[in-house]
């Protein structure tokens, strides 16, 4: 405590970026967890994942009017729409399920291209404004600084979502099936669980997570024409850095990326464009051999 009090002046200007980094990191985690599940279980590189997030973001922009009811409505609609898009994607993937990753990835890219075009056609080419509930529109004072109330609440909500996700994956039957399917898909199929159903369920869950992240994160990474690309890139970097399939690793990687994108930019503005690249290069180069062993098994 004493050290913190003494150091306050020096760390003071970086407190807000650091807090922003936590919000950003948790948002990226919720978005990326869908990609992790999708990749880990269904073994599909879902290039349409950013589009699923954008569905949530556009829903939030269209439905939010400053009241709590509209937030609940937007969350419900966004999650359902993105989950439905996930199921649709699973349906499209069924005919090529026996094929290779390359064609599956290309198929999801085609869906992303078409989906992005439909979103722009439906909501217009301009980046829409997102109105957060009026009660959260102001700012609160954190350690002597003003900070957007919405982001503070978002940190709490995203932490709850992350904890719930952990419990679902660890403790429920669905979570156990999902983990079992990662380890041994043939055995799970022998137990009488259809791989197609697991794939549909996983893509729906991935869509729901991305949709929830899109609605709640719309004031942070707002909907727009390049949202899908941005979210896909951040999620990919996080999934790769997190060690592909480990939820705890993904969370750590997401928080690190969040801090790099906010605190790192505040500390080293001239190096800002290279920070994300350098972080990925450094971690991958250091962990390459350890990860190779794990990747060999996927």
Query: Two tokens at 104?
Result: 């599956």
CB of 285: closest distance to other proteins in angstroms? 5
Among the listed residues 64, 71, 111, 247, the single contact to other proteins using CB under 8 A: 111
* Binding track over 35-54 against other proteins, x by CB under 8 A: ----x---x-x-x-------
Residue 42 backbone dihedrals phi, psi, to 5 degrees: -85, -10
Q: Where are the beta strands (DSSP E) in the chain?
A: 139-142, 145-148
The four Cα atoms 39, 23, 75, 250 give a dihedral, to 10 degrees, of 10
The least CB distance from residue 82 to other proteins, in Å, is 18
DSSP string, 95-113: GGTTS-HHHHHHHHHHHHH
Query: Could you tell me the smallest distance in angstroms from the CB atom of residue 198 to other proteins?
Result: 18
- In the stretch 242-271, what mask flags binding to other proteins with x, by CB under 8 A? --x---------------------------
Instruction: Give the DSSP letter of residue 263.
Output: I
Tokens of 117: 């075009």
Asked whether the beta carbons of 247 and 19 are under 8 A apart, the reply is no
Running DSSP on this structure, what letter comes out for residue 158? H
Q: Does 292 bind other proteins (CB under 8 A)?
A: yes
Could you tell me the smallest distance in angstroms from the CB atom of residue 113 to other proteins?
3
Return the residue of 2, 3, 102, 141 that touches other proteins, per CB under 8 A. Answer: 102
**Angle (deg, nearest 10), helices 247-259 and 227-241:** 120
Under the binding rule (CB under 8 A), the answer on residue 274 touching other proteins is: yes
Judged by CB under 8 A, the chain residues 113 through 172 that form the site for other proteins are 113-118, 121
C-alpha distance from residue 255 to each of 5, 162, 260 (Å): 24, 12, 9
Size of the site for other proteins (CB under 8 A): 52
CB-CB neighbours of 286 under 10 Å:
10
Based on the shown chain and the rule CB under 8 A, indicate whether residue 100 belongs to the binding site for other proteins.
yes
Q: Which of 52, 75, 81, 237 binds other proteins (CB under 8 A)?
A: 237
- Contact with other proteins (CB under 8 A) among 28, 41, 236, 255: 236
List of residues contacting other proteins (CB under 8 A): 39, 43, 45, 47, 92, 95-96, 99-107, 109-118, 121, 229, 232-233, 236-237, 239-240, 244, 272-274, 276-277, 280-281, 284-285, 288-289, 291-292, 295-298
């Amino acid at each position: 405590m004493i050290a913190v009090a003494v150091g306050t002046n020096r760390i003071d200007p970086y407190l807000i970026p650091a807090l922003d980094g936590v919000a950003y990191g948790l948002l990226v985690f919720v978005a990326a967890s869908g990609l992790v599940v999708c990749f880990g279980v269904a073994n599909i590189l879902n290039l349409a994942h950013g589009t699923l997030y954008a569905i949530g973001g556009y829903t939030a922009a269209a439905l939010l009017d400053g009241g709590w009811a509209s937030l609940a409505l937007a969350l419900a609609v966004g999650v359902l729409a993105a989950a439905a898009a996930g199921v649709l994607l699973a349906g499209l993937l069924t005919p090529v399920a026996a094929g290779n990753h390359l064609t599956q990835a290309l198929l999801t890219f085609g869906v992303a291209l078409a989906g992005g075009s439909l979103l722009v056609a439906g909501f217009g080419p301009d980046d829409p404004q997102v109105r957060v509930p009026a009660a959260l529109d102001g700012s609160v004072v954190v350690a002597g600084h003003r900070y957007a109330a919405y982001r503070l609440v978002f940190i709490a909500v995203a932490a709850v979502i992350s904890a719930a996700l952990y419990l679902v994956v660890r403790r429920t039957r669905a979570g156990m099936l999902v983990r079992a399917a990662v380890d041994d898909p043939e055995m799970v199929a022998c137990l009488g669980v259809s791989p197609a159903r697991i794939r549909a369920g996983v893509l729906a869950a991935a869509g729901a997570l991305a949709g929830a992240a899109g609605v709640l994160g719309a004031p942070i990474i707002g909907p727009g024409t390049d949202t899908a690309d941005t979210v896909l890139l951040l999620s990919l970097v996080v999934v790769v850095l997190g060690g592909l399939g480990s939820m705890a690793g993904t969370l750590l990687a997401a928080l690190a990326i969040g801090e790099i994108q906010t605190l790192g930019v505040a500390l080293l503005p001239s190096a800002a464009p290279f920070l994300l690249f350098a972080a990925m290069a450094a971690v991958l180069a250091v962990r390459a051999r350890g990860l190779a062993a794990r990747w060999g098994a996927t």
